[in-house]
Each structure stands twice: as structure tokens, then as C-alpha cells.
Structure 1
């Protein structure tokens, strides 16, 4: 009986050792994957610990990922920096200014901002139902007050986003996205978000998005631009890139900024543009793609489903 028991113990020990060895080999193989540097990802704000799709390397280990946006932009304050504004309501149906200030940890208005894609401040306005998107580059007065000249707004609740990088202080070199909501009085007719689709048309251009991103993971997206069935090859640089893509999450309007990895080479970009997307939350995201041809800016919008 004792001999039988010892034999059984030895068999179990050998099996356990074999399993451990196999597991060690598997982990070693996973840990040896070599993620190549992802160009064009240097505008997102703070590295995360989320693993990249299909690798054992965290996003913070990837070259070019040191400026990944921190948070979803839904807060008015972060790390001592605060977006302030006395504009809590705006008038519907006409052009109107939105004035705001960014204060630093010392409570004083920040006046020094680093250039980011040729601008010191990127400002976005989005209605709660993800319609009425506006991307503006406001002007700053000497006292640190910014003015964003908004186009006509429909009645409803809007969220105003300020995207910036302090030039000095404790936030130097760090990308911030802060936001506040404003009300536009009047009868607000809520527009249902269009169903998820892989293509849309704007100004005669067809924009097609290829890719199936997963929440919280880096994933490639390819955008193809055509006109009358023919590839477009005359895209002009816009903000130092061939396309600017912003995304907002259905339900809470959480913010995400995506950038193409395609190298800019004169006024002949397209038809294909490569992006690396990292959308943190599953669900529907409304994508706004801006590109320029013949000196004219085009804005295409479509809904992307993220699993």
C-alpha cells in the first residue's frame, strides 16, 4: 500500500513539474514579444498600464506613448490645473463667444502653453447627443483669458473641452484635457446617434474606417478616403498631419484623441491613413475625422462600435 502511495505521489510530482515547465516556457515566449515603436502616438497624454493587443508589453513601455491623454476629459480640474469660466449659458442660433481661463496649482491664470500640433490650445464643443461638433483654436488675452468663437449652437446641454500642455510649472510637458458643461436655452430635440457603420460621406468624399478596436487596448485603424470611387491622393497637411481624429463616447461624452501614423510628405496624402486607437470604454464612439483638400477643411462623422 505504501509503495503504491509513493508511486502515486511521484507521478503527481512529475506531472506538476511538467506543467510548471510548460507554463514557464509559455510565459517566456509571451514576454519575448518585441513591440515596434508606434509613430504618431506622441499626443495622447500619460502612459497607461493597459497591455497592448497581442503583446505582453504595457502601453507605457512603447516608444512614442509618453504623452497619452490622462483621463477622459470629463473633469474640470486635474493635478492642480482647473478650467474656469463664468459662461454657464450661451445663446442658441447664432455665433457666440465662450470665454475661459486655465488656472494652475497656485490659483493664478496660466499664460504659458507649449505648441501642440502647431497650436497652444485645442478647444472642442460637443452636444450631449454627440451632434454639433466644433473644433476651434481660440485666442488668448495677456491676462490668460481665452476666447473661443463658437458657431451657431442648437438648444441643449453642451460640453466644452480645453486641450493644452503647460509650458512650465508642475504640469510642464504633460497633456491635459479639461471640460465644463454649458446650457443653451430653448426646446432641445435630442438626435438619436446614427448606427455604427464603417463609412460615411462628406462634401463628396467617402471616408471608410477599417478596424475592430477593443476597449482599453491599442488597436490599428485604417481610414481610406475616396471621391467618385477613386482614391484621393491630394490631402494637404492639417495641424502637421493628414487627418485629425477626435472621438466621444455615447452617454457621457468621454473624450479621446487619435492620431494618424502616416508620414506627412507634401500636399499629396492619401488615400490610406493609419491610426493607432486606444478607446478606454466599450460601447459606441462618435468619430470626427478632419482633413483638408484644396485649402478647404472637411469634417466627416461616423459611429464606431468598440467591444
Structure 2
């Protein structure tokens, strides 16, 4: 009787074990099939990498178009437009082989805000360049000062030492119908259409930054629209140049059988 009970218990345990293994195997197989399907679908879909790659290519193509259009004495709109038309055509063909539809539309060139991406909604407190040893040129041309605040909310340019402390600062603001700057507690009325931060000795830029390593930073930069250009030498001995003359909003539409993405890319030039 005891042997019979033991045998029955062993058979029951064996059956339970086999059943459990079948369930586990089935779940694992389903997971493998599901993962395989997901991977297969991802190969036919628009990935984040593809969107990033298109954004990078569009940025580079727009800058190249601007460069080619400015090799003469004046900006050549025809050269600029044709370059981007060729870019759009070539990329459309490239993605067509992958079963992805691509279209590209560029807006006209426009003056940019001094924000990081050139848009009014862009990051307005940002570092233009780090690790500067010497600045050879630093100029601005403001084409629109209608957003410029008063003395309580000025547009600011700072040179910061390696500890993050300001060693030089210019504050620009509107007072009545005049545009003024304050540097080292001295106030000057200026012509906003051309400002030479380094060349104007009254601003004391060279005296404040001499023999120091510093970064240059904008604050409240959504207050102004226009052009800026600066160049010089880094602490590593390398030369640098930072310029922004114009910006363009490039609209890209990408679609596959499973997804569709429309994105507007702000591109600053040069």
C-alpha cells in the first residue's frame, strides 16, 4: 500500500514537472517570436537614428548652400535654391530604395535671434565659446531691437573666467527711443546697427580679458535679432571663428508604411 502511494506521488510529481516545462517553453518561444517580429518591423520603420541623420544632413546641406551662394560679391539666391533642390532630389531617391518617402521644403533666409538655435523660443542663456585665450574680433549688427528690454531686463554679454565668475560684462537695453550699453558702470548711447565690442576701447574688453582663459556667454538673447561674428585663439593654440548671419527653417516630411513624421529644423548660417 505504501509502495503504491509512493509510486502515485512520483507519477504526479513527474507529470507536474513536465507540464511546467511545457508552459515555460511555450512562453519563451512566444517571447522569441514577438522579439523577432518587433525587430523585423523596426527595420521597415523610421528610426530615431534616421531622423537624426536627416537633421544632420539637412543642416550641413543648408550651410553648404549658403557658402556656395556667397562666394561672389553678393548673395546669389538662385545658387542657394538650386543647391537645396539638388539635395532634396538626391535624398528623396536615396530613401525611396528603403521604402521611405522624403520631402524637403526650405523657407527664405531671415535674420536670426541671438538664441542658441536662432529662434525666439530658443535657449537664451548660452555659452558661445569656451576656453578662449584671445579674441581678435567681436562685432554685432542688430537689425531689430523692438524686443529689447529696459535696464531691468537687458541683453547681456559676459566673459567668464574658469571659475564661472564674470570678468567683463556688457548690458544693452532700451531707454526711451535710444539704445544704451553699460560697461564697467559706464553708460554709452550706441548705434545698434554696428557694435564693435573689442575695437571700441571704451568697452575695455581687452583690458578685462588680457592673460586670462575665459568663455563668452549671452544672457536674455531672445531680446535681440541680427548678426554677430567673433574670432580668436583658444587656450590650446587653435584658432576659432563663430558667426551667425542668417537662419532658415527647413521642413522635412518622412513617411513609411507604418509612420509619418513632419519636423521643422532651424538652421543657422554660415
TM-score, L = length of structure 1: 0.26
Greater Rg over alpha carbons, structure? 2
TM-score, L = length of structure 2: 0.28
Return the structure number with greater helix share: 2
